[in-house]
Amino acid sequence: MAFVKGAWRILVAIKDGLVLLFLLLFFGALYAALSFSPKPAASISAGALLLDLDGTIVEQPAEADPFALLSGSGPAMKEYRLSDIVTALDAAKTDDKVKAVVLNLDGFMGGGQVAIARVGQALDGLRAAKKPVLAYATLYTDDSYQLAAHASEAWSDPLGGVAIMGRGGSGLYYKGLIDKLGVNTHVYRVGTYKSFVEPYIRADQSPEAKQANQALADVLWQNWQDDVAKARPKAKIAAYAADPVAAATAANGNMAKAALSAGLIDKLGDATAFGSRVAEIAGEASDAKAGGFAKIDLAAYVKARKPANDGQIGVLTIAGNIVDGEAGPGTAAGDTISDLLLTALNEKDLKALVVRVDSPGGSVMASEKIRNAILKAKADGLPVVVSMGNVAASGGYWVSTPADMIFAEPDTITGSIGVFGILPSFEGTLAKMGVTTDGVATTPLSGQPDLAGGTSPQFDAIMQMGVEDIYRRFVGVVAQSRRKTPAQIDAIAQGRVWDGGTARQNGLVDRFGGLEDAIAEAARRAKIDPKTARAYNIEKTPDKWAAWIEAMAERETDDAGAPRDMLARQAMLQRGWAMQAVADVKALVTGAGIRADCLECRSYGAPKMQSAAEERGMMALITGLWR
């Protein structure tokens, strides 16, 4: 009887807690609804168009979770759509209301070289149109400085400066931990350079992986320097990056003065001084606050200038990890993307299709499902053109194979044509605790894969042959698409990752160019004047409730944003990469078994910022493994 009473009290407590939580969320939402008044998109005042990039630039932002936002556990950083930024900057060139463009890069966490270079081109267009571009940050790092280099005035706080890190860094290898735990890692792979599985079977990079990764890093680093040098020819960027100690020593440790002396920045001053300078060009703020200036809100400006989504050139975005099933924007879910495309083909009078790819790959099954949907567009007579963004590797290249033409940028990371599967079993772990397994079987595959007792040789052989078969299919699909023999593709495949320039030389890519070039090419192939061609973005209709909650949360937030000093900022960035690595491990264990994926590709952009709840879950996972 006492047990029943205790259980009843627990149930009543849980019920009361849920009711209280619901009431808190309800009244919180009610208060927000009564206090929130969205800014009208049409009323754009004159002043400086402010790009306060407190987060990352992405191809397709992830859809906000309204309940996570209401509970305060949403992502710490915002995602900005690349096309929105480019649209705003292009419109600002001829808009008399826009007196200047201001980049506040204090909270900017990156976005990949292709995306950043595209924004740089738009900034160059503004300067060519005689529009001032002013950039400010307490501390610039590689990505933020690549943007600031395109400004007509680059400012830094006297306590800040420029910290150029270059490309490269270390990754996590789990072989020692796996051995310590007694886990048996079963790896099935094809490709000399398919290094995704190496962290689970080695304590370091293989010589082949290190050679390929070094070559990729060297090319991207050189391209970064070339872009910065072209935008700011007087900057002594090579010497500054090659010997930062000498630069710091010459300035007695003052990195801001060191950057100023090297010509990397134009002026030193705090945020108030910078704001006063902007006010001289764009006008004073209405509240007369020190350091204030007349601002034009980026989101409102984009909303007012964004073209109607009613074009005849379909643009399908494949962004993020390729996964099975369904998912929202920012993740390339096979069922979702194929359904979106097939629906558009059925309901819209499209004349051509452009596939914008920014993905390191993922599930083979999902990649093939998306490829088949794109082939349906070809079967309907639509020209298909692929535009590669920051990365289009492994599964990201798989979905690109139906293209009549592939556009990429020199900084695009592509290739990684290889396949692997990985499966852990825990017979060693259980044996350490005195637990063993035994049973009966009727065939060599009975009970397989046995995660508790280990896999059988027959199961391992079948899995390896299956991976090899998928690799042959992958190579065959690429060979047919690129009009080469399977042997020629195999020579440049093997899981090797290529930069866009080398990929163009070896035939994996046709031309250099961005999304606009791909749309123009698709229009020409559809016998449409590129000047009159308009895009129709094939993506999920935004959830108005989620968008409203996100706008409300953005308005009400008083977040401190990213740290300003070098130590704290780099620590935050590295924590983001660590959480990204743990998320990759989790996805590997719980996601698709056979994958066309590229781990090293993920380290050439910005880490995907996790929500507070996700970080807590990952830290719990790490702590559990440590114990």
Measuring CA to CA, which residue among 377, 443, 419, 436 is closest to residue 192?
419
Residue 425: strand pairing partners: 184
- The length of the chain, given as a count of residues: 627
* Known active-site residue 286: no
Rounded (5°) CA angle 80-83-87:
110
- The span from the CA of 494 to the CA of 193, in Å, is 6
What is the rounded end-to-end Cα distance, in angstroms, of the chain?
38
The two three-digit tokens of residue 98, written as one number: 């826009």
Residue 405 C-beta-side C-alpha neighbours within 13 Å: 22
Instruction: Let me know: does 593 contact 411? Beta carbons within 8 Å.
Output: no
Cα angle vertex 507, ends 501, 509, to 5°? 60
Q: Which of 99, 194, 257, 484 is catalytic?
A: 194
- Residue in the structure block whose two tokens are 């962004």: 319
Which residues neighbour 19 within 8 Å (Cβ) at sequence distance 6 or greater? none
What is the DSSP secondary-structure string of 515-532?
HHHHHHHHHHHTT--TTT
Whether 194 is a known active-site residue: answer yes
List the structure tokens of 602. Answer: 């993920």
Classify residue 45 by its DSSP letter: -
- Is the distance from CB of 264 to CB of 162 less than 8 angstroms? yes
Task: Specify the residue for token string 């798989």.
Answer: 398
Residue-by-residue DSSP string for 379-423? HTT--EEEEEEEEEETHHHHTTTT-SEEEE-TT-EEE---EEEEE
Write down the catalytic residue from 144, 156, 367, 394.
Answer: 394
Residue 231 three-state SS: helix
Distance CA 376, CA 344 (A): 11
Exposure class string for 218-237: b at 16+ Cβ within 10 A, else e: ebbbebbbebbeebbeebeb
* Calculated CA dihedral for residues 60, 62, 63, 64, nearest 10 degrees: -140
The answer to whether residues 340 and 367 touch, using CB atoms and an 8 Å cutoff, is: no
The answer for residues whose C-beta is within 8 angstroms of residue 104's C-beta and 6 or more apart is: 50, 51, 52, 53, 54, 136, 137
CB 132 within 8 A of CB 150: no
Which residues, 6+ apart, have CB-to-CB distance to 496 below 8 Å?
A: 191, 192, 193, 212, 415, 416, 417, 418
Judge whether 310 and 328 are in contact, CB under 8 Å: no
Helix (H, G, I), strand (E, B) or coil at 353: strand
The β-bridge partners of 408 are 512
Which 3 state secondary structure label does DSSP give 88?
Answer: helix
Burial (Cβ within 10 Å: 0-12, 13-18, ≥19) of residue 300: middle
Catalytic residues: 194, 394
